[in-house]
Amino acid sequence: MRKKIIAANWKMNMSASQAEFLLAALVPKISNTSAECLILPPFTSLYAVKKLLAGTGIALGAQNMHYMDNGPFTGEISPLMLKEAGVEYVLLGHSERRALGESGEMINLKVKSAVNHGIKPIICLGEPQEVRESGTELEFISNQLDEELGGICLCSEMLIAYEPIWATGTGCPADSADAQRCASFIRSYLAMKDSQCAQEIRILYGGSINSSNIASFLSQSDIDGALVGGASLNESFERIARYDEEF
Ligand code: 13P
């Protein structure tokens, strides 16, 4: 049975003091949900958020990392630094980072490094609008998986986030049945590598998730969680984290 996970990707929002302000109100409301909750703050807010999450059961993650442990990589953050900051999960290959030039090859190195350091990678993928319009999204997803997972043994601690670019930050979510079709395709791909792990790996959907549409995504058989951007930046995130309760 895969435990549902609701992840708040704050992107480049929430300074440490803003994070403290939001979490003071939010943590008591989301600390005993049926789904696992995960906060992904920017690097500079990790320590402040770690303190506020201590003992709450809410997990801490980072939005990126370098694959090397240390060295001449100005402006980068290493897996060892993330471990010391209490990070359990790391987002890798988000489309907003790919748009800045991050390659599939680099993401592959990062996934290997995260696994080696015992940090759970949330491996992101998803097609742009023009690919969707041409009807070749499954081929595109398969190519991204080839790049990201090439030479890597699957483990149940990995997560995959399907985030179609045309649905990210646009207010136009995918149709939940269509997201299920893509999630199911991803699981079949994983099963070709390792059938046992494919049943255990959690697959998330991300892209314009809000409190009104979350339940329809999480009712799909292959969607085990949500990666939430804009709607995770205020107290209404409680409604998303408690998607299975009456309000
Ligand atoms: P939005 O929820 O703002 O569409 O962002 C999705 C996302 O990119 C989460 O990683």
Express each pLDDT in 1-26 by its tens digit.
899 999 999 999 999 999 999 999 99
Catalytic residue of the set 36, 66, 94, 148:
94
Distance 165 CA to ligand 1 centre (A): 9
If you take atom 5 of ligand 1, which residue's CA is the nearest one? 229
Whole-number pLDDT of residue 246: 85
Name the residue of 98, 163, 172 whose CB sits within 8 Å of the most ligand 1 atoms, as the mutation to test its pocket: 163
Q: Is 94 a catalytic residue?
A: yes
Pocket of ligand 1 (CB under 6 A): 9, 94, 163, 168-169, 206-209, 227-231
Q: Is 163 a catalytic residue?
A: yes
3-state secondary structure at position 159: strand
Rounded to whole angstroms, the Cα distance separating 107 from 104 reads 5
Its pTM surpasses 0.85: yes
If you take atom 2 of ligand 1, which residue's CA is the nearest one? 229
Residues of the chain with pLDDT below 70 are: none
Torsion angle of the four alpha carbons 24, 29, 35, 37, in this order, in degrees rounded to the nearest 10: -10
Whole-number pLDDT of residue 144: 98
Whole-number pLDDT of residue 1: 87
Task: Give the closest residue to 242 by CA, choosing from 60, 53, 26, 46.
Answer: 26
Whole-number pLDDT of residue 247: 80
Whole-number pLDDT of residue 135: 98
